[in-house]
């Protein structure tokens, strides 16, 4: 249920895909108006080996250069989670400011 807020902060988390990628929306509210809205993206990508991990890192580096509005970017490997087939997840994070 969505609640009317006069002053304060409010957030929600939305799952984007079957890998568990999420976007977290954070709003700062003053006099019932959204003064600032930020979206924090946490993208999970399944990789099978170090070569695929490096490919995802290079792709993310290019995306960062292309999207100057992205803030607080990070790339890391999710450990110690390893699937039966030996694959694992890399995490690409960034924040965008809407208002």
In a domain, 63, yes or no: yes
How is 51-88 classified by DSSP, letter by letter? HHHHHHHHHHHHHHHH-TT-EEEEEEE--S---TTS-E
In a domain, 68, yes or no: yes
Backbone conformation region of residue 25, classed left if phi is above 0, alpha if psi is from -120 to 50, else beta: beta
- Provide the number of structural domains found in the chain: 1
Give pLDDT, residue 1: 46
Of the pLDDT bands very low, low, confident and very high (cuts 50, 70, 90), residue 80 is: low
In a domain, 1, yes or no: no
In a domain, 60, yes or no: yes
In a domain, 2, yes or no: no
In a domain, 37, yes or no: yes
Range of the domain at 15: 7-97
Residue 12 has pLDDT above 90, yes or no: no
CA distances from 17 to 14, 28, 62 (A): 9, 27, 22
CATH number at residue 13: 3.30.200
pLDDT, tens digit, 9 for 90 and up, residues 25-50: 888 777 777 777 889 999 999 999 99
Which of these ranges, 4-13, 27-36, 51-60, has the smallest mean pLDDT?
A: 4-13
């Amino acid at each position: 249920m969505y609640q009317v807020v006069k002053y304060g902060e409010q957030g929600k988390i939305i799952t984007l895909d079957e890998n568990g990628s999420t976007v977290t929306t954070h709003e700062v509210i003053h006099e019932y108006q959204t003064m600032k809205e930020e979206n924090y993206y946490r993208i999970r990508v399944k990789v099978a080996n170090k070569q695929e991990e490096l490919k995802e890192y290079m792709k993310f580096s290019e995306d960062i250069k292309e999207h100057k509005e992205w803030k607080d970017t990070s790339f890391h490997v999710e450990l110690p989670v390893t699937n039966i087939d030996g694959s694992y997840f890399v995490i690409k994070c960034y924040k965008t400011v809407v208002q």
